[in-house]
């Protein structure tokens, strides 16, 4: 259903940070929808966000309620920041629109033992070196020589494949969701076109809001000193944040299955969706399982991509600072996705069920003790990495008990307020570069237009978004991370 005349819902206020959309809002809703926001962020959201999440609530097998995080904005099918849980045993579906075209797009945070004074005169050299070593932007190709057979292995083994190639350490796998690979992936379920699109993109950053950023940790921005110290975070520290995904291969996987599901959903499965962008298949059907296994390949492609970039980052820092990555303390803290569907056990009423959790522009945020958390963090809760704009900074958080109400899900960024075309029209990329340089942030971009698209005023206030998540008890603040240098497409 796409109704230009649809009015904003009459929300029921559940708490200061949770607003519920009733089942009466859109015909066919099976459960209510909930929006996590404060009043100001709620007012900023377009009606299309509420329409989309209401349509999600009409999908078969959905449990309890669909969700929108405070960074929510409209997307393809699901809103960005959308979350939904489906019970496979109750006809629950899997939908490419609830996962995204950049499958397993995510964040990675690399620690160092460096302080700001150690590199303050080297920022430009480091950023230029990273920009030279890591192909960035539309059309740039990987410098890695990967054939089709190797790509299929990569698609089934993720970061583990990259580490076996010498592009990282075993410890990196312990700091990665899924221990570095989706074990359900099956490369026979992805097309030759997807492989062709991915062959030359491993170790590349891409365009849009994808970036690699050198950041600093200021003492006053450490909120949880105990967790920060335990995780290796200290005042004045230099860290590196990476945001990218499965690129063209993931996009092709999603495209292939949207087309396949479009031809099958109503005629074969009897599923009628309110919005054609929500095409889906029962998770337990042959089509659903094929997509799940193909999506697993997208997960692994993204993980291998981020691992290969991590290797390049370590090489550049080592070359510029003339010390080995080990001597520089370049340890991977965590790698977490925000475009994936995952099978997880959650409580529904008085029972526990295995559910398929769709997270579209939403990050996993697991309370202490959950098995999804790598062992080194299990007592604390999972690390949560929230990327902001290159002007405003980003956050490291930790999953907390309130995430049980959101199917262990939280926000993924600050959320766009301007489209890319609007941002290009309203922002002069070269002026933005110079303004940021005056503030002590050096950016290297493939184009002025690409830079303009990512201006700080194109996004919601990252502090406000994270305040909602923190106050609602979904993810607790550990520290804010401020930019010093950035490369982007």
The catalytic site residues sit at 412
* CA dist., res. 50 & res. 301, Å (int): 32
Q: Which run of H or E residues covers position 264?
A: helix 247-269
And the tokens for 474? Answer: 């979904």
C-alpha distance across the termini of the chain, in Å = 35
82-106: burial string, b at 16+ Cβ within 10 Å, e else: bbbbbbbeebbbbbbbbbbbbbbbb
* CA dist., res. 7 & res. 307, Å (int): 45
323-356: burial string, b at 16+ Cβ within 10 Å, e else: eebeebebbbbbbbbbbbbbebebeeeeeebebb
221-259: burial string, b at 16+ Cβ within 10 Å, e else: bbbbeebbeebebbbebbbbbbbbbbbbbbbbbbbbbbe
* CA dist., res. 471 & res. 460, Å (int): 17
Query: 212: which strand partners?
Result: 242, 487
And the tokens for 29? Answer: 């809703």
Beta strands (DSSP E) in 281-427 are: 281-282, 332-337, 339-348, 351-360, 363-364, 383-386, 394-399, 409-410
139-167: burial string, b at 16+ Cβ within 10 Å, e else: ebebebebeeeebbebbbbbbbbbbebeb
Q: Are 190 and 155 within 8 A, CB to CB? A: yes
Q: Measured at the alpha carbon of residue 264, what is the angle toward residues 260 and 266, in degrees to the nearest 5?
A: 140
């Amino acid at each position: 259903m796409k109704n230009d005349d649809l009015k904003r819902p009459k929300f029921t206020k559940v708490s200061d940070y949770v607003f519920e959309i009733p089942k009466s809002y859109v015909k066919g809703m099976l459960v209510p929808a909930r929006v996590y926001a404060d009043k100001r962020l709620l007012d900023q959201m377009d009606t299309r966000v509420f329409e989309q999440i209401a349509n999600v609530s009409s999908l078969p097998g959905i449990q309890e309620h669909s969700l929108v995080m405070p960074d929510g904005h409209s997307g393809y099918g699901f809103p960005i920041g959308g979350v939904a849980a489906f019970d496979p045993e109750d006809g629950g579906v899997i939908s490419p629109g609830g996962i995204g075209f950049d499958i397993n797009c995510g964040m990675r945070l690399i620690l160092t033992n460096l302080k700001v004074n150690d590199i303050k005169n080297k920022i430009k050299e480091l950023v230029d070196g990273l920009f030279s070593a890591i192909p960035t932007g539309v059309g740039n190709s990987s410098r890695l020589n990967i054939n089709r057979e190797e790509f299929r292995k990569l698609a089934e083994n993720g970061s583990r494949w990259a580490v076996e190639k010498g592009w990282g350490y075993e410890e990196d796998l312990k700091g990665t969701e899924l221990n570095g690979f989706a074990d359900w992936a099956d490369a026979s379920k992805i097309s030759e076109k997807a492989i062709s699109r991915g062959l030359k993109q491993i170790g590349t950053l891409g365009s849009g809001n994808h970036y690699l950023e050198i950041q600093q940790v200021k003492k006053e921005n450490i909120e949880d000193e105990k967790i920060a110290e335990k995780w290796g975070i200290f005042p004045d520290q230099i860290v590196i944040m990476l945001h990218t995904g499965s690129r063209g291969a993931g996009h092709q996987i999603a495209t292939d299955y949207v087309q396949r599901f479009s031809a099958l959903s109503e005629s074969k499965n009897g599923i009628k969706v309110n919005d054609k962008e929500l095409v889906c298949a029962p998770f337990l059907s042959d089509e659903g399982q094929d997509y799940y296994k193909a999506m697993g390949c997208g997960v692994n492609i993204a993980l291998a991509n981020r691992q290969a970039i991590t290797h390049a980052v370590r090489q550049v820092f080592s070359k510029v600072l003339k010390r080995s990555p080990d001597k520089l303390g370049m340890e991977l803290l965590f790698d977490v996705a925000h475009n994936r569907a995952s099978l997880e056990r959650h409580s529904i009423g008085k029972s526990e069920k295995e559910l398929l959790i769709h997270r579209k522009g939403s990050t996993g945020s697991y309370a202490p003790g959950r098995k999804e958390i790598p062992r080194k963090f299990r007592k604390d809760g999972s690390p949560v990495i929230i990327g902001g704009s290159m002007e405003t900074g980003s956050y490291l958080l930790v999953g907390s008990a309130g995430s049980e109400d959101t199917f262990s899900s939280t926000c993924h960024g600050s959320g766009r307020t301007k489209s890319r075309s609007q941002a290009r029209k309203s922002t002069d990329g070269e002026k933005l570069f110079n303004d940021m340089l005056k503030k002590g942030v050096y950016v290297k971009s493939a184009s002025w237009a690409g830079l303009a698209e990512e201006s700080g005023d194109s996004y919601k206030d990252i502090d406000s978004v994270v305040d909602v998540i923190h106050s609602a008890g979904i993810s607790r603040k550990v520290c804010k991370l401020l930019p010093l240098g950035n490369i982007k497409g």
